[in-house]
Every structure is written in C-alpha cells, then in structure tokens.
Structure 1
Amino acid sequence: MNKLRQIIRLYCQGTGTKTIHGMVGTSRTTVKKYVHVWHKLGITHDEFNEKSDNELSVLFTTPAAKTINSPRMQELELLHPGYCKRLKKKGVTREALHLEYIQQHPGGYARSRFNNAIDTYLQLSKPVMHIDHKSGDKMYIDFAGSKLQFHPADGHQCDAEVFVAILGCSQLTYVEAVESQRKEDLIKACENALHYFGGVPAAIVPDNLRSAVTKGSKYEAVLNDEFAAFAEHYAVTIIPARVYKPRDKALVEGAVKLIYRSIYQRLEGRRFNDLESLNAAIRSALEIHNNKPFSGRSYSRSEQFEEIEREALRVLNPIRYEVHKQVMVTVMKNGYIRLGEDIHYYSVPYTYIGKKVKVLYTSGIVQIYYHYTQIATHKRDRARYHYTTNKDHLASQHRFLTEWTPEKFIQEAEQIHEDVARYISQVLENKSYPEQAYKSCSGILSFARRVGPERLANACRWADNLSQYNYPVIEEILRKQLDQLQPEGEQVAIPSHKNIRGKEYYQ
C-alpha cells in the first residue's frame, strides 16, 4: 500500500506514468491501472489519504475493484450464476457457454478472459478449506476416468480399469490396471496397494462405487458387506466421500490427473498382451513418478514417505484376504444344498430342510449360515455332481443308510457264522453294483434276530448249494423250514412246488 500511496501522490503532483514507473519501481501497466481505478472512484487526494491500508486494498486490489464500472464485466457478472449452474450438467462445457455468450453479446470478452471471470466467480462463491493430512491417517482411492487397453492372443482389444491409491501425507501413489470395477477387483487392488505401501493407514476414503458402498449418504454411508469384511480383516476404517463432493477426495482426483501425464504418456503407443505385462509397465512408470522431486521442492514422494509416513502406518495382517462369494439357496429334501458354480452338493443338518440359507464360499472353504448362525462348514470340492457329507447332519435313518458298505455286511455276517459270511459275499458279487445288494444283505442278516444264527447258517448252505443268491430264496427256505432237513451230498433236491421249475421245463 505504500507504493500505491506514492503512485497516487506523484500522479496528483503532475508526474507522468513513465516517470512514476522509474521512481517507484512498479510496472507502467500497474501504475496506469491504479490511476484508472482512482479516477473511477471519484475521490480527492485528501479523501484517499484518510483511508486505511485495508480500505485501499479493498478498493484497488479486489476483483470487483479492478472491473469497477466496466459495462462488459458487469454484464458478464450478471450471467455468472446461470453459467456456473449449467456447468454442473453433463455435456455442458465452458467452450459451449462462451460461444453462446459471444452470439448474444458480440462485443463481449474473448475465451481466455471469459474463463478467468468464471474461475474468479467460482473461487469467491465456493471457498475451499485447506486440509492438513496427518502421517498414516488416510489412503484415498479411485478409478481413473480413462481406461488402458491390452490385446490377448485372439487379437481383440480389452479395456482395463485403472485403480489409483494415494497416501494423504506423503502423496506416495499406487497404480494398477484391473479387469473391472467389481468388488473382487477393487478389494484385490486395495490389498495390493496396502502391500505396496508396506502398512495400513487409519482409514480408506473411497468414492461412492457400488463395489464399495451399497447406499451413499451425506452423513453415514452403508458399506458393501464384502468391502466391510475386507476392512475388518485389515483393521482399517472406511470413510466414503460424500455424494457429489469430489473435494472430499481432491488429493486422489489430482493424482489421477498427474498419472495421465506421468504414466499414460509413457505407455502410449505400446502394445500389451495381458494384464500382467501392462501392470509391469505401469509399475516401472510409477517408480519414476514417485521418485521424481515435487515441483519447486528438493524431495520426492518416496523420500517424504520414508521420512515421515512409513513408521506411522500400522502393521499389515500377514494373512491375505480371500473374497467371499455369496449366494442364497434352499436346502433340498435330501438335506443338501447345491453350489451352482461347481455343481457340487454339501450337507447341512436335516432340521433345516426347506429353509433358505446363505452360502459364503472362498477358494478353499464353504460356510453355510441360517439367520447369521453358522450351521455347516465344508472344505470346498469342485468335483461336479458329487456330494460332500457330514454324517452328523443326516437324520438317523439316513445316517444308517450311509454306513452301508460291503465290508460292514461281511463283518456282521462273520459274527453270525462263516457260512453266512460266504453267502453274503456271493450276494454282493452277483450284483453289478454292490449298492443294489445292500437291502438284500440287510434283510438276510435280519433273520439272525428272528430265527437264530443256526437256522440262518443252514439256510445259507441250502441256498449256496442251489447257487441262488438273494433274499427271497433264504426267506422261502426258512418259511418252508427246509433248513432243518439234512442235505445229502453237494446237491439237495427241493420238494416239488408249483413255483419251482426243473430242467425239463426248458427243453
């Protein structure tokens, strides 16, 4: 303000602007501007001297003062609210607004001055708060608007989403190309970022992505269950940015703009066959970006991270997080649920037959829940159309059936008599599938409780002599009490009966 007072005093004394420029050391343009504003204000030199430095600052240096009584600027200022409101709409650009402005006001400002006026209005109408980022406090994440491409062996082009993470304090940046913005890819990229940084911040600030936030809110957003489980695994808080408030994560928005210049340009013109090769190239460019000194400073992001932020990060969970896929299914009547991805069946307690249950599964385990209570867990098996069974889940009658095996029947028969065991072995061998003979074996062995072991052993010897190996033959022998007759030799003739046909019948 001292120079301003000197300029006005010298001008009132009749000194020319060129001479004032040499005496005060201020550019002639600035001298002319101050003199112009003084004339527009219409005040005397004495009134000028009575004003304080603060009042003079307001009159001579604020944007309003610089354009005082300018008809063109006053005209444009009236249009600012409407223009800035329309700029929020998708597809509306400053260039389009300027063309409209020139058509309606042919003598208006050129595009550069028009844009500066818009910026000045936005800065005055929306003051921005400076945020001091504490070390180890927040990691901001987002996806870049522009995608990268890779070309698999079949030749078609695939688009890759570009994930960006940045630490608030040191501004150390992590970039990775992923297949999509699905929760599986988002969680994997977040986890890779934590491992790249070598620690866990106090909070992660995502945008309102569907893969991270189920329902956005100005006050408290609802997190996606899987992303919340990931945060719990690494003991980190998720603080989503407010809806339509990009300044909540301005740091990562700025990081995205920087990687367009520092990473995208380095990849331009190069061809990649898969995500792995694309990410390898990104990692090389990322190291250059992080190790490049800040503009106007003597240190880089990596140096600042090592100095002030690495020690502030918390220790990583040594166990990698596995994404839990989720599906709702109904327990079938046989007491199993069907995991559609593998077409494999898993048992649940039979009391839940007909109930809807939630299945959470990873690459190695299948967990089944009913109303937030875990009712079954199994090791994941990808064998199609197979069954994984926990015998404790089955009803008593079903559990008994699952215990039927050839060895079990032979062992039980041996406890009765060796002839019974030999006969049971023949029953099992004479069926294409042993399971077909299980009911016959069970029925034959039940005769030991009804008629006694001795009669059953005799009946088995009679049937064995006849080379008949099934339940009806034993039942008939015992019913006719043929087992009490003593067979003569190896072959014993059975008494005549209308249902028994001799060899003559087939002549």
Structure 2
Amino acid sequence: MANILDPMDLKQIITLHLDGTSNRRIGSILGISRNTVNTYMQLFTASEYSLEELLNFDSAKLSELFSYHTTVDTARHNELMLYFERINKARHHPGFTFLFHYQQYFGQAQDAYSYTQFLEHYRRKYPKEKGSMKLEHLAGEEMFIDFAGKKLHIVDKQTGELIEVEVFVAILPCSQYTYVRACMSQTRGDLISSCVHALQFYGGVPKAIVSDNLKSAVNRASKYEADINRSFKDLACHYNCAINPTRGYSPQDKALVENAVHLAYQRIYYPLRETTFFSLEDLNNEIGKLLERYNELIFKRKESSRIELFQTVERQYLKALPDTPYELKDFRRAKVQKMGYVYFSPDKSYYSVPYRFIGKETQIHYTQSRIEVFHNHQRIAMHQRNLAKGAYITNTDHLSSTHKFYSDWNPEFFRQKAAPHGQHVLACVEKILVAQDYPEIGYKRALGVIQLYRSYGSQRLDQACKRALDTDACSYIRIKNILKNNMDKVPLYEVDLQNANDHIPFHSNIRGASAYE
C-alpha cells in the first residue's frame, strides 16, 4: 500500500533542495524514491507559492496543498531481498541455477520481477568482490553521532557507589572536528540534549544528522527506510536539517565516528582513568579540556589540526543556528471539555483553548517551559507551563463573551459598574462586598443590586440605596422591596415629616406629648 509523506518530510525535501542537494541525493538521505522526490518537486514548482513560502507554511497547510500519495512501496522489494537471503545459503550447492530459483520465486510472488531484474538485484546485493573505498565527505554535509561502547563513572558522595554514565560522540566528517560529552543514559531525552549541545559546540547546523539505529532515535530499524521517532524529527525541523539513520549492521556507513570513539578511549578515557568525579558537570568540564587538546593535535599528512580545518573549511558551510535551542517535546491527547479547557495529565492541570473547539479532540505538545495545543495540525493555544497541580491556566481571549464577563469578577469590577448609578449605590455595593466571607456570594448580590437600574432607573436606585444605608438594610432583597413598594419616595427623617402636609385635623380633645409630662 502506498504511503503519504509526513509534512515534516515535505519540509526536509524543500530544505535540502534549497541547499543545492540533487533529487537523487535527497531520496537517498530521506530513504524515499527519487521518482517520489521528482514528483513532489514538480508539484512544488507548479504551485503558486515559492519554495521559501512553502517552507514557512504550517503542517496543516502543507497537507492540504500536497495530499499526493507517494509511490513508495517497499513490500515487493523486501520480499525479493528475503528470498535472496534464503537462496544465497545454497549458492555453492552442486546443481544450483538461478533459473530454478527464479521459477520458484515467480510461482510464489504476487508481483514478481522479470528474470533480468531478478539477476540484476541479486548482483547488487551480492557482488563478486566486496572491497572498501575512500569516501569523500563534503563540508557541512553531515554530522555523525554515536554512543561509545565503554562507559565512564561518577561517584555518589553519600554512598560511595560508582554510577556508570554514557559518552556521546559527534564528528563532522570533512574536518573530523569532534565533540564528546558524558550523559546519564542513551534515552531519547539525553540523546536529543546531547545533539543540541553538539550543534551549539559547532556553532552551526549541517544538512543531515547521521545516527545509529538506537531505540531513542528510531522507532523501527530498516536497512532501506527507517521509521524515525517523532521527537528526533521535531529536532530536525527546529534546526532545519534532515535525519539519516545508517543501515543496520553497517558500521562502515559511519566509520569516522566509530574511529572517533576509539580515539576518545585513547585521548580522553585513558587520561581520566585515575581521576574521581562526583558530578556529571565536573566530568564534562574535564572532558572539555582534554577534547580541546585533542582537536588541536596536528594531522601528520594534512599538516593542520581538526580545529584549523573546521575554522578554515567547514564552518562557512554550516547553516546558522535558530534563535532558541531546541527543547525536548512530549505529546498527549486530550478532548476539550465543556468549560473550554483541556486536561493535561502529567501535571493534573487545565489549560484554556478557544471556546469554539469545545468537544474537539486535540494533541498537546509540551516541553519543560511551554504547552502548545493543536487541532488538525494547527496550533490553537499556547501557554507557559504551570507545574502547580490542579491549576486552571486561562487566556481571556479564549473565553466566550459570557465566560469572559464572569472571569472579570473582582471588587474593583463591581465598583466600576456601580459608580455611574450614584454614590449611594457605590457605597451600598462596597458594604455588600465587605459583609461576605465567601467573595462569590457578595459578587452575585452586588450584581443583583446594580441590575435593578434596568427596571427602576439609576436615580430611584440611588435613592433606594440611600434609604437602605440609613436603615442599615443593605441587601439585594431589601433594596428591591424598597423600590417595589415605592418606599424610596416616602420621606424618612423628622424634618421631612414636619414639612409634609399633616393629614390629621386639629381637635382640642387630642392630647399631645405635653399631657404626659
């Protein structure tokens, strides 16, 4: 079945093409057919965008523009290679003929090669004379990486235990400029961290990183098309380069880094044999000093050192480093909840996304400092990571108008809402807010008082609040009853009563207060 190229692979094709790499070489580096590369380059050229513009597009846009199915299908070729491995064991048996085995192969294969192609593929796989050759390495083309087979040690100060540490080695093959660093393991995090340190050490980026088929770099090893893990691909996209794993059981593909490992044993391991280190930092500091001397050693035949060759020849061909170093990314899937947040399980916290994505499936990309939420390859939210468990991290731009109104609730918000309706309304709201131990209750009651202006107007509301303040009756229900019963219009003080028209007529039988003195 045909495969679909990942958007990351499309960007790598464009990057390598802009670097002047031929289509055949691009296919070799990325492990895809040259015809596939030719087809995609024709599609890129025929589009209305330049290659530089296509390189800046996000993954969703590239997938939409170039959803072409590639012709990469290695099942037929792999079937033939497996058959060759079986028949080659009988190669020297008396009576062996290629025609006999071709007829057997033709009878069992679903899509068999012709007899001519059968012989051609066999001769390519098993040439009569297998020799070695001197490979010419272009400046800035590749960076070989590997882990040394032998380990160094640090000592735990508390227990005195010897802790084994791995040693990462990188080399630029043209100048043979070498980088060595100790790390705690060969896991994905340590591998990527070591690659980042190596690129910063070189001060530039080659066109491709050539790695071994270790599990932290490759999900599925293959002699023809390895499946590179997502984090390693993401590293390549960040640094605008390609990943090219070597063939399995083919150390000659990266012979220079294998040799660099052996030289590291001589130049770094041996001088450190009698030194005790209590931390990885101290060990790497000492490795750095020995590495500097090693790179300054003069080649006997070239009459120059590794550092000189790097500075004069290779450095100018490296691409510039991005503005920020790469941070290791991990991935989680999450569904947007009804309240507009995604649940981030590693920290047990919640991050907001635009409310229109409620109910959608998303993918969370996260580093030590950043959280990014994607939907259909499109980033819909980005937050600074908060390590507090159970925290709700909110971007107010993500909220709907209703949610945004409630998220703004605080004492100052209600003061600003009350002030336009009069000083007594403001004073009454402030008294309501202070009276409640739980602020949410006070917010609701203050909002209820302010909303009464819609039915009775700001002037009557202010008078009602004045009466409520004078009688110490500042509550939503009492103010509402004052307005409902028109009590805001009835005078309250004795002076007001004297000025009002007395409705009881004067009579001599009616006794006043003087009768009781």
Q: TM-score of the superposition, structure 1-length normalised?
A: 0.66
Alignment correspondent of 1:267: 272
How do residues 278-317 of structure 1 correspond to structure 2 at under 5 angstroms?
A: 278-294=283-299, 299-317=304-322
Partners of 1:462 and 1:220 lie apart in 2 by 84
1:484 corresponding residue in structure 2: 489
State the AA in 1 paired with 2:382. Answer: T
Bigger Rg, structure 1 or 2: 1
Structure 1, residues 429-475: CA drift from partner, whole Å, max 9, x if none? 11124332111111111211112333323332332233233222223
Deviations 1:322-371 (A, max 9, x none): 33333222323321224344554321112222333222233443221111
Deviation digits for residues 416-438 of structure 1, max 9, x if unmatched? 22211111111111112433211
Distance 2:476 2:495 in 1: 21
State the shift of 1:176 in Å: 0.4
Does the CA contact (< 8 Å) of 1:466 and 1:491 recur in 2? no
Query: Equivalent residue of 1:428, what SS?
Result: helix
For 2:476 and 2:493, the matched residues in 1 are separated by: 24
Matches within 5 A, 1:107-506: 126-155=130-159, 156-294=161-299, 299-489=304-494
Change (3 A) 1:282 1:336: same
CA contact (8 A) 1:148 1:161 kept: yes
| Secondary structure of 1:139's aligned partner | strand
How many residues end up aligned between the 2 structures? Answer: 373
How big is the shift at 1:165? 0.8
Letter in 2 for 1:135: A
Cα 1:409–1:293 change in 2 (3 A) is closer
Q: Larger relative CO (CA 8 A, sep 6+): 1 or 2?
A: 2
CA distance in 2, matches of 1:390, 1:229: 26
CA shift digits 1:118-168 (9 cap, x unpaired): xxxxx9975334322233322110111222221243334332211011121
Q: Deviations over 1:183-208 (max 9, x none)?
A: 33222212222232333323211011
Contact 1:465–1:491 (CA<8 Å) still a contact in 2? no
For the residues of structure 2 that align with 1:236 and 1:205, how far apart are their CA atoms?
11
CA distance in 2, matches of 1:416, 1:297: 88
1:205-254 CA deviation, whole Å, 9 max, x = no partner?
10112332233332232322222222223222221111232221122122
Which is further off, 290-299 or 383-392?
290-299
Mean Cα deviation higher: 383-392 or 397-406: 383-392
Change (3 A) 1:427 1:160: same
Deviation at residue 372 of structure 1 after TM alignment: 0.7
| Aligned counterparts of 1:254 and 1:313: Cα–Cα separation in 2 | 23
RMSD: 3.0
The answer to which of 186-195 and 336-345 deviates more is: 336-345
Relative to 1, partners in 2 of residues 1:125 and 1:147: Cα closer, same or farther, differing over 3 Å?
Answer: farther
Alpha-carbon spacing, 1:127–1:232, altered in 2? closer, same or farther (3 Å) = same
Between the aligned partners of 2:259 and 2:484, the Cα distance in structure 1 is 94
Distance in 2 (CA, whole Å) between partners of 1:458 and 1:275 is 75
Tell me the SS of whatever aligns to 2:189: helix
Inter-partner Cα distance in structure 1 for 2:132 and 2:352 = 59
Offset at residue 486 of structure 1 (A):
1.9
Distance 2:496 2:387 in 1: 54
- In 2, Cα distance between equivalents of 1:186 and 1:491: 87
Residues 412 and 317 of structure 1: is their aligned pair in 2 closer, same or farther, counting only changes over 3 Å?
Answer: closer
Specify the code of the residue in structure 2 equivalent to 1:414: A
State the distance in 1 between where 2:372 and 2:258 align. Answer: 39
Q: Deviations over 1:86-119 (max 9, x none)?
A: xxxxxxxxxxxxxxxxxxxxxxxxxxxxxxxxxx
Corresponding residue for residue 56 of structure 1: none
Q: Which runs of 5+ in 1 are unaligned?
A: 1-80, 83-122, 493-507
- 1:264-294, Cα deviation, whole Å (9 max, x unpaired): 1111132111111111121222233333345
* TM-score of the pair, normalised by structure 2: 0.65
Corresponding letter in the other structure for 2:189: E
Query: Structure 1 vs Structure 2: percent identity of aligned residues?
Result: 41
Does structure 2 conserve the Cα–Cα contact (< 8 Å) formed by 1:430 and 1:469? no
The whole-number CA distance in structure 2 between the counterparts of 1:430 and 1:149 is 65
